[in-house]
């Protein structure tokens, strides 16, 4: 029988630690940490994620400000906003919620965010730091997954790690983190041949493809660790990229959806915000 990896419980522990730390920091520096989220347009999933982030910040004593911009906003307007937030000393973290409308270049806008306030770890400086093995601010979802593996003492060194999905947000940084931890890493994507048989080589399988219940027991080696990053709503229910009922028969360890990776992403966002704050106040 599989061990269920309880991301929700671990996230609660880590969020409580952030809250305690925030109290100590405010006492010392008389400044409250502040995260600013830029939300452009009206993507429904983004609205949900952003309100989850706001709520978590509030609970941890971090001030959270959401700046909403119209779908039709120009790139110059967003660049100006980012520049003013970079210079604003009361702002410690800046997050540009993705996806953004088509007229805007995500690479250009991300690159405009100060690397010191880059709570997502998406700026070129932080991407390079991770790629070169000296990470500072690391993307929240893969970072949360590494914390889950550590908590349950699932070693990475020497293991076959297969990632399904090559996104900038999850797949690529996940590969870097597993590689930095001495895993042997394979990244699969839409053009990969014989996906189930490649997935089946994995000791650690990370699925971040956005296809509900794609991965069933035929993708999983007996005893493997299965990490499900997907979250979709089908028939009013939240489901992951992994068919949990089938996968649980084969996996040694598995994350549920909801209650697995999702809560850890938010906990890591709070931790990254505090890391930015500490650096900016000179802690
Ligand atoms: N959209 C979906 N996930 C994320 C994330 O982790 N960061 C940002 N900025 N946008 C997202």
Domain containing 247 — which CATH number? 3.40.50.720
In a domain, 135, yes or no: no
Calculate the average pLDDT of the chain. Answer: 98
CA distance 248 to 228: 12
Angle between helices 7-29 and 140-151 (to 10 degrees): 110
- Which of 95, 121, 208, 271 for mutating ligand 1's site (highest number of atoms within 8 Å of CB)? 95
Sorted by sequence, the CB contacts under 8 Å of residue 156 that are 6+ apart come out as 149, 178, 181, 182, 183, 204
> Cα separations (Å) of 133 from 111, 220, 278?
20, 29, 22
Which protein residue has the closest C-alpha to ligand 1 atom 8? 97
- One domain for residues 158 and 229: yes
- One domain for residues 96 and 198: no
- One domain for residues 163 and 257: yes
**What number is the average pLDDT over the span 169-181?**
98
The pLDDT value given to residue 261: 98
The pLDDT value given to residue 250: 98
Residue-wise pLDDT tens digits, 212-250? 999 999 999 999 999 999 999 998 999 999 999 999 999
Buried b (16+ CB within 10 A) or exposed e, 21-42: bbeebeeeeeeebbbbbbbbbe
Which protein residue has the closest C-alpha to ligand 1 atom 4? 98
In a domain, 277, yes or no: no
- Strands, DSSP E only, in the chain? 3-4, 34-40, 63-69, 93-96, 160-164, 184-188, 204-207, 225-228, 232-234, 237-239, 253-254
Does any ligand 1 atom lie closer than 6 A to the CB of residue 98?
yes
139 C-alpha to ligand 1 centroid (Å): 9
Answer whether residue 36 shows pLDDT above 90.
Answer: yes
- One domain for residues 88 and 180: no
- One domain for residues 112 and 145: no
CATH number (domain holding residue 110): 3.40.50.10860
- One domain for residues 149 and 218: yes
Answer whether residue 6 shows pLDDT above 90.
Answer: yes
* In the block, residue with structure tokens 């219940």: 213
Residue-wise pLDDT tens digits, 97-151? 999 999 999 999 999 999 999 999 999 999 999 999 999 999 999 999 999 999 9
In a domain, 46, yes or no: yes
Sorted by sequence, the CB contacts under 8 Å of residue 200 that are 6+ apart come out as 218, 219, 220, 221
User: Are 39 and 68 contacting, i.e. CB atoms less than 8 angstroms apart?
Assistant: yes
The structural domain count of the chain equals: 2
* Burial (CB count within 10 angstroms: exposed 0-12, middle 13-18, buried 19+), residue 241: buried
Q: Which of 186, 187, 123 is nearest to 160 (CA)?
A: 186
> Could you give phi then psi for residue 228, rounded to 5 degrees?
-105, 110
141 C-alpha to ligand 1 centroid (Å): 9
In a domain, 72, yes or no: yes
Residue 231 structure tokens? 């979250």
In a domain, 17, yes or no: no
In a domain, 183, yes or no: yes
In a domain, 226, yes or no: yes
Q: What angle do CA 133, 142, 48 make, to 5 degrees?
A: 145
- Which of 100, 120, 271 for mutating ligand 1's site (highest number of atoms within 8 Å of CB)? 120
The pLDDT value given to residue 1: 79
- One domain for residues 180 and 234: yes
- One domain for residues 66 and 144: no
Does any ligand 1 atom lie closer than 6 A to the CB of residue 140?
yes
- One domain for residues 253 and 183: yes
CA 25 to the chain's CA centroid: 25
The pLDDT value given to residue 179: 98
53 is an active site residue = yes
Which atom of ligand 1 sits closest to the CA of residue 96? 9
User: Are 273 and 62 contacting, i.e. CB atoms less than 8 angstroms apart?
Assistant: yes
The pLDDT value given to residue 102: 96
Q: Is 235 left (phi over 0), alpha (psi -120 to 50) or beta?
A: left
Residue 250 structure tokens? 């084969």
The pLDDT value given to residue 231: 95
> With bands split at pLDDT 50, 70 and 90, how would you rate the model's confidence at 82?
very high
In a domain, 275, yes or no: no
> With bands split at pLDDT 50, 70 and 90, how would you rate the model's confidence at 60?
very high
- Residue 31 is classified by DSSP as -
- One domain for residues 86 and 194: no
55 is an active site residue = no
Q: Which of 34, 117, 120, 213 is labelled catalytic?
A: 120
249 C-alpha to ligand 1 centroid (Å): 31
- One domain for residues 72 and 181: no
The pLDDT value given to residue 9: 98
> Cα separations (Å) of 271 from 32, 79, 230, 264, 267?
14, 26, 22, 10, 6
140 C-alpha to ligand 1 centroid (Å): 9
- One domain for residues 151 and 253: yes
103 is an active site residue = no
Q: Which of 34, 97, 203, 243 is labelled catalytic?
A: 97
Q: Which domain holds residue 231?
A: 140-261
């Amino acid at each position: 029988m599989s061990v269920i990896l309880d991301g929700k419980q671990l996230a609660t522990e880590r969020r409580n630690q952030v809250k305690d730390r925030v109290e100590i920091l405010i006492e010392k520096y008389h400044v409250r940490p502040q995260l600013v989220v830029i939300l452009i347009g009206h993507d429904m999933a983004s609205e949900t994620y952003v309100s989850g982030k706001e709520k978590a910040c509030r609970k941890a004593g971090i001030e959270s400000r959401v700046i909403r911009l119209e779908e039709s906003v120009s790139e110059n307007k967003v660049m100006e906003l980012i520049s003013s937030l970079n210079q604003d000393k009361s702002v410690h973290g800046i997050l540009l919620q993705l996806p953004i409308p088509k007229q805007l270049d995500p690479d250009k806008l991300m690159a405009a965010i100060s690397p010191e306030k880059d709570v997502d770890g998406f700026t070129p400086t932080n991407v390079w730091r991770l790629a070169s093995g000296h990470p500072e601010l690391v993307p929240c979802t893969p970072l949360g997954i590494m914390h889950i593996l550590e908590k349950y003492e699932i070693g990475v060194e020497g293991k076959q790690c297969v990632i399904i999905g090559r996104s900038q947000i999850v797949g690529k940084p996940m590969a870097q983190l597993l590689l930095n931890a001495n895993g042997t890493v394979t990244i699969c994507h839409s053009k990969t041949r014989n996906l189930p048989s490649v997935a089946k080589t994995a000791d650690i399988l990370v699925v971040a493809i956005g296809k509900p219940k794609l991965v069933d027991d035929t993708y999983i080696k007996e005893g493997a660790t299965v990490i499900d990053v997907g979250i979709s709503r089908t028939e009013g229910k939240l489901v992951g990229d992994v068919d949990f009922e089938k996968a649980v028969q084969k996996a040694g360890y598995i994350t549920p959806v909801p209650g697995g990776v999702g809560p850890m992403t938010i906990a890591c966002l709070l931790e990254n915000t505090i890391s930015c704050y500490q650096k900016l106040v000179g802690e």
